[in-house]
Amino acid sequence: MMRSDTIKKGDARAPHRSLLRACGIDEKDFGKPFIAIVSSHVDIIPGHVHLSDVAQYVKKCVIEAGGVPFVFNTIGVCDGIAMGHDGMKYSLASREIIADSVETMIKAHQFDAMICIPNCDKVTPGMLMAAVRCNIPAIFTSGGPMEAGRDANGKPLDLISVFSKAAAKLNGKLSEAELLDTERRSCPTCGSCSGMFTANSMNCLCEAIGIALPGNGTILATSQNRKMMYKKAAKRIVELARSETCTALPRDIITHASIDNAMILDLAMGGSTNTVLHLLAVANEAGLDYSMKRFNELSEKTPNICKVSPSCDYHIEDVHNSGGIYTILGEIRRGRPGLLNEKVPTVSGKKFGKVIDEYDLRSPKVLSEAKKMYAVTPGGQRTAKGISVKQTVTDPAALKLSFDPADCIRPCEKAYSQTGGLAILYGNLAPNGSVVKTAGVLPNMLKHTGPAVIFNSEPEAYQGITSGRVRAGDVVVVRFEGPKGGPGMQEMLGPTTAIKGVKLDDSVALITDGRFSGGTAGACIGHVSPEAASGGPIGLLRDGDIIEIDIPARTLNVKLPAGELQSRTIPPHESTIRTGYLAKYKTLATSADTGGVLKF
């Protein structure tokens, strides 16, 4: 029996069938599995603008595979467009709406299985949370990454290039013509922004978790090669929906071991700090006891073997041409035998280790299909249309790249560092932890001591940095921006790129109870927990307090006489938001160390 039989079998369901017939369903379809195609198409996000076409292609593939497809859409927030104003308060909060809306559609209509087509930031984790809740067969097939832009000299550009140069222009260090040129060149195609920012980090992590097929995180949005992955996903999801003993349900796949695998990948490639927030939230939905401390345990064993923008000039397209996610995992397996759990199941039906064998470009068992997949290069055409560029490579071995793939994805013995690209810091300022992307920190900033310059909002911090209030050696503190305090836990991409834009990234650190874009680099420590609005010590700081950051030692402290911190009170800070969704959200939101989930 299929789940969908609940709405289509028996005399009592004649009204249901009548309504389904009005949607175009006929007699031959009632015996087939009903497959939800969960799209996140919206016209105002470059990562999603092409997903209507993708959903229609996947729909066609599901029909060919013997299923009955139904498309529905979720909302989405573009963090780049929402950045720097009150719209950013809705970004993290949208994750819960996405999870709730997908759960509602799946359970209300008794779908047998779903193909999720996310792309950006909160959409992927929101859909993962819903998949775990509903626990029906699910495959994630993202819309794919954007191609990198190029300046007049061929140097790669991306969204972070524009943010940095905008700050430089405000500071008088760049001309209007230079800023406009960068603005026009940096985001040339549809797709999730081209660096290892949150969207691409999460789509790559879906491969390591095992709920997405190879190529999900790295095949470019513009490439027609994504069609091969969509077709495979459609065929597989119909197989899973028909199976009476399916052992590839989300709760079979998303386990403590597979989240470990995903975190090892994240540490190896220096992914976004937001992945910590989202993996904790997904683990919470799965009922797993998974804490921030686990990230440090894995970081001690995992070398950082791949850096991607904003940590260097490599982009997702370069990672793809170097062998993609499974080549990163393959190098970890060769350099750190036993670290990955290779026996966990994946949605493909194969064990994780077998998938690494077949899609690690440097493996002797690599499939010829995988070689061809990794040989597809950017189309170099400005377009908002996905899966549109036809690229044919007859001999992958003859592919000529402008960089060394062995440098883009390094063997463990040549790692950037022998510990992972993310770290959790604890101390009297972060009793429950805080997060830093070590892969993006300059060596001289791994240890930093300086006076606090305090801001009580993200816009205030951006204004203070660009106007010259922050000096070399300072520690910028941005507080009351946690999930409850913001409300919504705004990203600090504006302030962090402003620090870079005014040339202080080699001498100024930033700490916040808010979070960062995956595009953030530098000595930037986020997710400080508990947050100020929940009584956390970050709310007790005063201008001039000396902050000590020691990333190698994993500590974050303020230097004060014994008892001084406890004798202080947090200054009044009342949010002006008292109605609407954010008012509901802030009453339920928890601090970042729990994933920023809602407790009720």
Contacting residues for 219 by C-beta, under 8 A, at least 6 apart: 144, 225, 226, 229, 320, 373, 376
| Cα separation, 435 vs 423, whole angstroms | 6
- Block residue for tokens 């393959």: 330
What is the three-class DSSP state of 123? helix
Burial degree of 46 (CB within 10 A; 0-12, 13-18, 19+)? buried
CA atoms within 13 A on the CB side of 7: 19
Catalytic residue among 272, 517, 529, 534: 517
Euclidean distance between CA atoms 162 and 153, whole angstroms: 16
Handedness of CA 211, 213, 218, 220 (dihedral sign): negative
CB-based contacts of 370, cutoff 8 Å, min separation 6: 214, 326, 358, 359, 361
Distances (CA, A) of 213 to 190, 251, 255, 353, 374: 21, 17, 17, 14, 14
**Tokens, residue 304:** 């950082």
Catalytic residue flag (residue 417)? no
The answer to whether 97 and 91 have CB atoms below 8 angstroms apart is no
**What is d(CA 120, CA 77) in angstroms, rounded to the nearest whole number?**
8
Tokens of 332: 């970890």
Nearest to 171 by CA among 445, 448, 426, 501: 501
Strand stretches in 381-503, DSSP E: 423-427, 430-436, 447-455, 475-478
Rounded-to-integer distance, Cα 82 and Cα 479, Å: 19
In DSSP terms, 345 is beta-bridged to 351
Name residue 58's amino acid. Answer: V
Q: Which residues pair with 547 in a beta bridge?
A: 450, 558
Active site residues: 517
